[in-house]
């Protein structure tokens, strides 16, 4: 088959035009992504190869008899090099792309092209075997065969890189690698057909078509499986067996990768989803940290309650350019529950589970400062179980402990949510009543004393009836103090005991009048 052949020329021109359009779209839409430049160069080289070969088959005049066929080699020698660079960039081999390697990769296509154009002076490329009007080069000299071996070695290396990436990848990444391998497989299949002499286009080189189909498979992966848009940046940092949840976001806040622990929590999220999709599962993380590039924090999730130690760090390339963010969290629920339990032990009385005296004093100082700031009243009710020693002596300390625990439960049930209740020491307990006047506190104390006296407590062998004495005081002047209130409550309690017990006494500035239930 000799030129002109307008059908073959038209098909080649259409294939080249498609490559140019895809390269333009890649440059516009995926320019910041890793591997985008090498893919654009690959597609441009394929477009050049197709279009110049199309002009040759259209038999348009050139500067020399072989001009249009020779100029196709500019694209042919660039394709293998750009393909290998693209494979290295997408499969974690960027460390190989050092300046000396890049120089060698660029130098070989240049030297081969110069050898082709200067062949009449040395015969190293064609070896004196060139035929007029031949549609392809089947025989040549040392440079020709050296370039053939070199080019297919680069293509083989790229194929191996993508094959290795395919077996390592999961989910969307495997689909990407599979589509690329399918495209490269067409190139190898075409080469085998060509070697076996089964070329469907006798007298023509169908290699540009096979590489164009490869480029189109790349384009399909580009737009169907988000090739370059969803690149496994930081995949080497993700260990599927880790107990920590790991999520990688790209520079546009889209989900790029996650390990199995993260996928359990983000069950509805898919690779490529925007951050808003994650917000449906982890709203607190997104709301608080959506714009943070470097952060460490502890957060709580609800339904069910979980505590996470969250860390966010930037993901950058070798040039320190931002690629996205790495979010790592560790489930510290058990540790946090233990911490809360220890904190509970530090603030609670072990027997009655009421606040202990130290913690009560801390809380009362906070409440006192608030009452002073907003000019609110505050009251204290100090109470003591009457004749508790007789319970211990007659029924034993085990029954005495039961009485203390049940007594504390009754007090907890009687108080408001904002009231603070604590064990003051021994059989003494205390209430702090925020925003409560003295008479209101006194009425509360009377109701509580009545409840205690009317509620038998179950001991080991029998029911135990107890009563209590209560001393009540409230803040009364701007010159008052918390320490003075404690003293007044203690004095009012002493008055209640001296007056016969089982009663409440309200301490007043001018007099201490006993008011019985």
Q: Which residues pair with 384 in a beta bridge?
A: 428, 469
Question: Residue 72 corresponds to which tokens in the numbers above?
Answer: 């196709």
pLDDT at position 10, please?
85
Domains and CATH numbers, the chain: 6-224 (1.20.1070.10), 235-337 (3.30.450.20), 348-515 (3.30.70.270)
Q: How confident is the model at residue 234 (pLDDT cuts 50, 70, 90)?
A: very low
Q: Is 132's pLDDT higher than 60?
A: no
Name the E strands within 317-406: 322-331, 378-385
Is 192 exposed, middle or buried (CB count within 10 Å of its CB: 0-12, 13-18, 19+)?
exposed
pLDDT at position 375, please?
87
pLDDT mean over 246-269: 77
Give the tens place of pLDDT for each residue, 69-104.
Answer: 788 888 888 988 988 888 888 777 777 778 888 888
d(CA 256, CA 325): 10
pLDDT at position 476, please?
74
pLDDT at position 513, please?
44
pLDDT mean over 202-209: 66
Instruction: Give the pTM.
Output: 0.49
Give the tens place of pLDDT for each residue, 406-439.
Answer: 999 999 999 999 999 999 999 999 999 999 999 9
pLDDT at position 511, please?
43
> Which of 108, 367, 427, 495 is an active site residue?
427
d(CA 432, CA 181): 75
Instruction: Give the whole-number percent of the chain exceeding pLDDT 70.
Output: 80
Count of C-beta atoms within a 10 Å radius of residue 308: 23
Q: Which residue has the higher pLDDT, 90 or 327?
A: 327
In the residue annotation, 108 being an active-site residue is answered as no
Report which listed range, 64-68, 285-289, 482-486, is most confident: 482-486
Lowest mean pLDDT among 283-292, 301-310, 467-476: 283-292
pLDDT mean over 44-66: 83
Q: Is the dihedral of CA 76, 77, 80, 83 positive or negative?
A: negative
């Amino acid at each position: 088959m000799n030129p002109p052949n307008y059908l073959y020329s038209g098909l080649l021109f259409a294939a080249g035009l498609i490559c140019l359009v895809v390269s333009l779209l890649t440059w516009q839409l995926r320019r910041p992504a890793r591997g985008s430049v090498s893919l654009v160069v690959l597609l441009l080289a394929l477009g050049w190869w197709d279009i110049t070969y199309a002009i040759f088959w259209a038999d348009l005049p050139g500067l020399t008899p072989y001009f249009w066929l020779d100029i196709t080699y500019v694209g042919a020698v660039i394709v293998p090099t750009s393909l290998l660079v693209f494979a290295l960039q997408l499969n974690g081999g960027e460390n190989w792309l050092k300046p000396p390697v890049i120089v060698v990769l660029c130098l070989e296509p240049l030297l081969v092209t110069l050898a082709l154009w200067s062949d009449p002076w040395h015969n190293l490329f064609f070896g004196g075997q060139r035929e007029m009007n031949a549609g392809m080069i089947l025989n040549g000299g040392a440079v020709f065969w050296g370039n053939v071996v070199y080019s297919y070695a680069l293509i083989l290396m790229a194929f191996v890189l993508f094959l290795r990436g395919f077996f390592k990848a999961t989910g969307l990444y495997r689909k990407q690698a599979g589509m690329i391998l399918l495209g490269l497989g067409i190139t190898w299949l075409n080469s085998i057909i060509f070697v076996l002499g089964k070329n469907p286009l006798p007298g023509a080189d169908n290699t540009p078509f096979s590489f164009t189909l490869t480029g189109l498979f790349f384009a399909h992966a580009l737009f169907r499986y988000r090739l370059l848009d969803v690149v496994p940046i930081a995949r080497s940092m993700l260990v599927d067996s880790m107990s920590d949840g790991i999520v990688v976001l790209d520079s546009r806040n889209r989900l790029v990768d996650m390990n199995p622990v993260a996928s359990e929590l983000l069950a509805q999220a898919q690779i490529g989803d925007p951050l808003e999709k994650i917000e449906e599962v982890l709203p607190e993380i997104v709301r608080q940290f959506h714009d943070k590039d470097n952060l460490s924090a502890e957060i709580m999730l609800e339904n069910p309650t979980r505590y996470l130690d969250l860390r966010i760090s930037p993901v950058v390339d070798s040039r320190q350019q931002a690629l996205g963010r790495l979010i790592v969290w560790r489930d510290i629920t058990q540790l946090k529950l233990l911490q809360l339990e220890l904190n509970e032990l530090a603030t609670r009385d072990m027997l009655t589970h009421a606040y202990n005296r130290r913690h009560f004093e801390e809380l009362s100082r906070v409440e006192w400062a608030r009452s002073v700031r907003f000019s609110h009243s505050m009251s204290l009710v100090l109470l003591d179980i009457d004749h508790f020693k007789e319970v211990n002596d007659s029924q034993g300390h085990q029954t005495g402990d039961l009485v203390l625990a049940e007594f504390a439960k009754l007090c907890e049930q009687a108080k408001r949510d904002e009231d603070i209740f604590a064990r003051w020491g021994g059989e003494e307990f205390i209430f702090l009543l925020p925003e409560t006047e003295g008479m209101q506190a006194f009425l509360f104390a009377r109701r509580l004393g009545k409840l205690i006296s009317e509620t038998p407590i179950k001991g080991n062998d029998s029911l135990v009836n107890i009563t209590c004495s209560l001393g009540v005081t409230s803040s009364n002047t701007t010159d008052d103090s918390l320490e003075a209130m404690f003293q007044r409550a203690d004095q009012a309690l002493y008055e209640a005991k001296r007056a016969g017990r089982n009663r409440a006494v309200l301490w007043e500035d001018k007099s201490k009048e006993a008011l019985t239930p």
